[in-house]
Amino acid sequence: MMQIPAIGLGTFRLKGQQVVDSVRTGLELGYRHVDTAQIYDNEAEVGQAIAASRVPRQDLFVTTKIWTEALGRDRLRASLEQSLEKLQLDQVDLTLIHWPSPGDAIPVQEYMEALAEARAAGLTRAIGVSNFTIGHLRQAIDAVGADQIATQQIEMHPFLQNRKLADYTRAQGIHITAYMPLAYGKVMQDPVLQRIAQAHSASPAQVALAWLLQQGYAVIPSSTKRTNQESNLAAASLRLSEQELAAIAGLDRGERLANPGFAPKWD
């Protein structure tokens, strides 16, 4: 199974020149994993920043995600080809199903098989899922096999630890990527994270990222500021003690930030 770089650059909510600058700066600082999606409406700008960066293609790891409207067997491949065109790439490294089909209108088997076919055609090196419940993940495994699912990307931060889903995902041998790892900056205000950060001469954001990285998850924080991008990258060298990890485990309050009306019934 391919290695997904542990720290990636998220691009959710970033548009136009803002995303071009964010990706360009990130690549300058040493990020080699860039995460985008069809619905972010920024694949063209991400592609522009990658093309201008002169980072050799083989050193980059690019992820995109198929939006719910393109999940049908007749639409998925064409939508991924459009993404590649916008990104100015012949192939992405990882393509995820962004959300399960709303109301399960399209069966999981149909879009997982279509995604596997797109991989067989060389459009993507690996495939995976995002925002899948245990039930959806079970169906995805039945469709293509657990060893074919490179990652499950889910919201994960100290205030939403998603333990039931994480435990099931990991028990199947499937890697986890944590999105919104900083809970839109809410981690900065938490007294427990502030206290741990102080002990390490670090920031609460670095502590939140280190906590996820130490569990073996990949993280994709997004930032438009060079100093924050640099600081997030440095979280990889921060080691937290068992007591500190336990203190962070105690912060879980099931606070879900990504919960659109079409979201599945969460575990």
In a domain, residue 237? The reply is no
Instruction: Report how far apart, in Å, the C-alpha atoms of 40 and of each of 4, 35, 180, 239, 262 are.
Output: 21, 10, 14, 33, 17
Give the residues of the chain that fall short of pLDDT 50: none
Residue position matching structure tokens 């993940």: 137
Q: Which residues pair with 128 in a beta bridge?
A: 96
Q: Taking the model in full, what pTM does it have?
A: 0.97
Phi, psi for residue 149 in degrees, rounded to 5: -100, 105
The CA R_g of the chain, rounded to the nearest whole Å, is 18
The DSSP output letter for 7 is B
In a domain, residue 189? The reply is no
Closest CA to 34 of 122, 204, 14: 14
Is 40 known to be catalytic? yes
Question: Which long-range contacts link 30-33 to residues 24+ away (Cβ below 8 Å)?
Answer: 30/233, 31/7, 31/229, 31/233, 32/5, 32/59, 32/60, 32/61, 33/4, 33/5, 33/7, 33/8, 33/9, 33/60, 33/61, 33/62, 33/63, 33/218, 33/220
Q: Give yes or no for a contact between 248 and 207, defined as CB atoms under 8 angstroms apart.
A: yes
In a domain, residue 235? The reply is no
- Please list the alpha-helical segments (H only) found in 103-171: 108-120, 134-144, 163-171
The DSSP output letter for 244 is H
In a domain, residue 264? The reply is no
Provide the domain limits for residue 93. Answer: 9-184+218-224
Torsion of CA 11, 101, 215, 157, to 10 degrees: 60
**Selected catalytic residue, list 31, 40, 111, 179:** 40
In a domain, residue 250? The reply is no
In a domain, residue 241? The reply is no
Instruction: Report how far apart, in Å, the C-alpha atoms of 172 and of each of 4, 60, 166, 217 are.
Output: 17, 27, 10, 15
In a domain, residue 256? The reply is no
Quote the pLDDT of residue 2. 78
- Please list the alpha-helical segments (H only) found in 39-107: 43-53, 76-87
Binding-site entries for substrate:
98
* Domain count within the chain: 1
Q: Give yes or no for a contact between 43 and 68, defined as CB atoms under 8 angstroms apart.
A: no
Instruction: Report how far apart, in Å, the C-alpha atoms of 17 and of each of 24, 44, 116, 146 are.
Output: 10, 11, 33, 38
3-state secondary structure string across 155-173:
ECECCECCHHHHHHHHHCC
For residue 99 the two structure tokens come to 């959300």
Average pLDDT score, the chain: 97
Instruction: Give the CATH number, domain containing residue 129.
Output: 3.20.20.100
In a domain, residue 260? The reply is no
Instruction: Report how far apart, in Å, the C-alpha atoms of 139 and of each of 67, 129, 186, 218 are.
Output: 19, 11, 34, 23
Q: Give yes or no for a contact between 159 and 251, defined as CB atoms under 8 angstroms apart.
A: yes
